[in-house]
Structure 1
Amino acid sequence: MDETIKPLRIPPQMSVYADKHKVFHLLQSMLSSLVIDQPKDPISYLINLLQRNSADIPRIIVLGPPAVGKHTVAKNLSAELRAVHVTIESLLQDPSELSAQARQYTLREQELPCELVVRMIQQRLDNVDCFKRGWVLEGIPQTRLQALSLQQVGIIPEHVVMLEAPDDVLLERRQGKLVDPITGDVYHKTFIWPVEDTVAMRLEEGQSRSERQRLAELQRYRCEVTGLTSAYQHVLKIINSDQPHTDVYQQVLAFVRTRRCPRTPRILLLGPPGSGKKHQARLLSEKYRMVDVCCGQLLRSVTTDGSTLGKNIKPYLDHGRPVPDSLVLQVLEERLGRVDCSCRGWILHGFPSDLQQAKSLQESQHQPNRVFLLDLTDDVCLERITLRATDPVSGETFHSLVRPAPSSEVQDRLKTRPEDSTNTATHTLRQYRMNIAAIQTLFPDVVYIDADQDPHSVFGALESRLTTD
C-alpha cells in the first residue's frame, strides 16, 4: 500500500449542506427502494421515484387491542392525509383470487395463514392509489410474525401508533359500541357521540360478540403486543387512549406529521450546572458512537500536547482564569474538524456560555443540527452540586443522597471541589441564568428536556428527538 496516500478528509461544510437540503434522507430513501424493489431499469425507476416525492407519502400503521379506538383514529387519519385506509375487512372484500381464498378461511372460522395475509396486503399496497397517496393500515399486522414478514417484502411504515387503555375501559367501550349504518363510523354513548342529530338518530348497536370471544381477542393481543413493539420500536409511539378522543387524535396526528431524518449528528447540549450534561453526553456517545466533546476537558488535554496553542492556554487554566474566546474557538475548530467528528458526528457541552460564544459557534463551519436544553430549577441544581464529592483514589464521584459512598473508609477520604461550594455554585447558576435567555435566541428550535427525573428517563427523552423533525 502506498503510504503517501492521505486518508480522505470530509469537509465540515459537506454535512451542513447535506442536512440543509436533506441529502442523507434522499439517499437513504432511494437506496432502500432500490434494494427492496430491485427494478430492471434502476435509472428510470429512480427518476420516477424522485418525481413521486416519496417523503410526503404517509405509511402508517395503527395498532391496539379491541375497542381501543383504532378504527376511528385510522379513518380520520386517512381522510385528513388523503391516504388509503386498509383493514382486514376491506382486504376480504377485494375482488381478487387471494381475497377469495381468505374468505374461505373466514367462513370456516379459521385463522388466516400469515403468508396469505402478507400477500393480500402486498397486493393492495402495490395498487396505484396506495403508491401515490400512501396508506394507513388499521390493526395490521396482528402478530410479530406478520410484522417481520411484511418487513421482508418491503412494507416498512414510517410511523406506527399503538393505542393503549386498561382492560376495564376496553370492556366498557365494547359494550356501548354504536355504528352508523351509512358511513360505518363507530360511536359510543359515553366516549364518542356524533355532533349531528341526524347521525345520532340512525345509529345502530355494533355487531355483538360473546364475552368469551371478546376476552379471547384481548388475550391474543396481549400475547402479541411485546413482539409487535419490538418489531417497530424505532418508529413506534404508544399513546394512552383512555382520554378524550380529540386529545388522542391530536397526539396521533402530531406524531405522524414528524419526519425521521437521517443525518450526521451535531448536537449542542445546554443546561445549568448539575443538570447532567456530562453524563448524558457520555451515554449518547457510547450508544451512537458520536464524539463526546467536553469543552473544559478538551482545553485541559490541549495543554499537555506540547503545541503552541496549548502553551498559550495553560497559564489561564493554572491561575483559574477564563480562557479567551479566540483560543477556545481555535481548539474547537480543530477538534470538530477531525475525521471522526465529520463521519460519526459529535455532541458538544460546556460551550457556549454567553451570547458572543454562541454567535461564534453559529458563524463557524460547525453549526449544530440539534440543540437540547436540560431544564432544571436552581434548588435542584444546588442540591446536586453541593452534596457531591470525589474519591481521590478511584476518581469516582458520589452524592450523599442519590449515590452515597460504599463504605466509611471511602466516605472519609472524599474531597469536595472548590467550584462545588454553595457560594461558588450559586454564583455560577446566576451567571448561567443571565446568559441562557440570550443564547436561546440564536437557537429557536431548542428542545427542552425535563432533567428533574432519573438519568434513564432523560436519556430516553433525548433519544426520541435525535432523528425526528
Structure 2
Amino acid sequence: MNLLIMGLPGAGKGTQAAKIVEQFKVAHISTGDMFRAAIANQTELGLLAKSYMDGGNLVPDEVTNGIVKERLGQEDIKATGFLLDGYPRTIEQAHALDAALAELGISLDGVINIEIDPAKLQERLSGRIIHKATGETFHKVFNPPAEGYNEEDYYQREDDKPESVARRLEVNISQSQPIIEHYRSKGLVHDIEGDQDIEEVYAEIEKVLSNLK
C-alpha cells in the first residue's frame, strides 16, 4: 500500500502517521529522514543537499525530488509500500512525484487528508507557553498551569505567537490546496475529520485503509 498523508500544522499528522506505520507495516518516509539518510550514505544527491544546507540555503526542488525518487526506488519499498509524510509540499513537487512513481512503476493508492478548521488550529498552535524558570511547557487552553498563574512568569516562542502561527497556516493552506485538488481529481483523496479524539481520528483512517488493502 502506497500512501500520502496530508494535514495543516497541528492537525495531528505525525501521531496518525506513527499509528498507520505500526499497524500496516509500511515504510514511513519523511523528508527529514530521507535527507539524513542520503547525507549519511554520502549519495551524490545527499552530498549536494548538504552543500546547500551547510551554506544556509534552501535545497532546490530538483535535489529534493531526486532524493525522494532515490528512496522510493529502494528494495524495502517494493516489499512494504510507503507512507510519504511532508512531501510533496508544492504542486510542482506533486507533479515531480507523479513522474517519479510512473518511472518506478509504482502506483499511489490513497491520500489521507486530515481536516481541521484553521481557526481551531490557530488556537491549538498559539496557546503554548513556557515557564521561564523551569522551561516546562503548558497550553493556555488544553494544559494550563495552576489556576490564577502569573502570565509574567511565562513566555512564548516567536513561532508560537498568534501572528506567526497565522502566517504559517496561511502559507500551508495556499501550498497544500492545489496538491489536494490535484489528487482529488484522480479519486485518491480521503478526507478525515481531525477535530476529534486521537483514537476516533485513527478509527476513520483505519476504516479507509482496510478498504484499500
* Match of residue 455 from structure 1: 198
Give runs of aligned pairs for residues 218-229 of structure 1, distance below 5 A.
none
* Match of residue 428 from structure 1: 168
Unaligned ranges ≥5, structure 2: 131-135, 146-153
Alpha-carbon contact 2:192-2:204 (below 8 Å) kept: yes
* Match of residue 148 from structure 2: none
Unaligned ranges ≥5, structure 1: 1-264, 391-396, 406-413
* Match of residue 323 from structure 1: 59
* Match of residue 96 from structure 2: 360
The alpha-carbon distance between structure 1 residues 299 and 276, as it changes in their structure 2 partners (threshold 3 A), is same
* Match of residue 308 from structure 1: 44
* Cα distance per residue 1:348-369 (max 9 Å; x no partner): 1111111111111122224421
* TM-score between the two structures when normalised by the length of structure 2: 0.76
The alpha-carbon distance between structure 1 residues 332 and 398, as it changes in their structure 2 partners (threshold 3 A), is farther
Describe the SS at the equivalent of 1:373. strand
Alpha-carbon contact 1:374-1:449 (below 8 Å) kept: yes
Q: Distance in 1 between matches of 2:83 and 2:56?
A: 25
Give the structure with higher Rg (CA).
Answer: 1
Q: Distance in 2 between matches of 1:386 and 1:319?
A: 31
Q: Distance in 2 between matches of 1:416 and 1:279?
A: 24
Aligned match of 1:466 in 188, 209, 213? 209
The alpha-carbon distance between structure 1 residues 421 and 343, as it changes in their structure 2 partners (threshold 3 A), is farther
Is 1:374 aligned to residue 121 of structure 2?
no
Aligned match of 1:292 in 10, 14, 28? 28
Q: Number of residues paired by the alignment?
A: 191
* Match of residue 384 from structure 1: 124
Describe the SS at the equivalent of 1:302. helix
Greater RCO (CA < 8 Å, at least 6 residues apart): 2
Aligned match of 2:183 in 429, 443, 463? 443
Alpha-carbon contact 1:382-1:422 (below 8 Å) kept: yes
* Match of residue 233 from structure 1: none
* TM-score between the two structures when normalised by the length of structure 1: 0.37
* Match of residue 338 from structure 1: 74
* Structure 2 letter corresponding to 1:383: E
Q: Distance in 1 between matches of 2:88 and 2:5?
A: 10
Q: Distance in 2 between matches of 1:290 and 1:363?
A: 21
1:302 to partner: Cα distance = 3.0
Alpha-carbon contact 2:69-2:97 (below 8 Å) kept: no
* Cα distance per residue 1:40-79 (max 9 Å; x no partner): xxxxxxxxxxxxxxxxxxxxxxxxxxxxxxxxxxxxxxxx
Q: Distance in 2 between matches of 1:459 and 1:357?
A: 27
1:270 to partner: Cα distance = 1.0
* Structure 2 letter corresponding to 1:430: E
Give runs of aligned pairs for residues 137-216 of structure 1, distance below 5 A.
none
* Structure 2 letter corresponding to 1:458: V
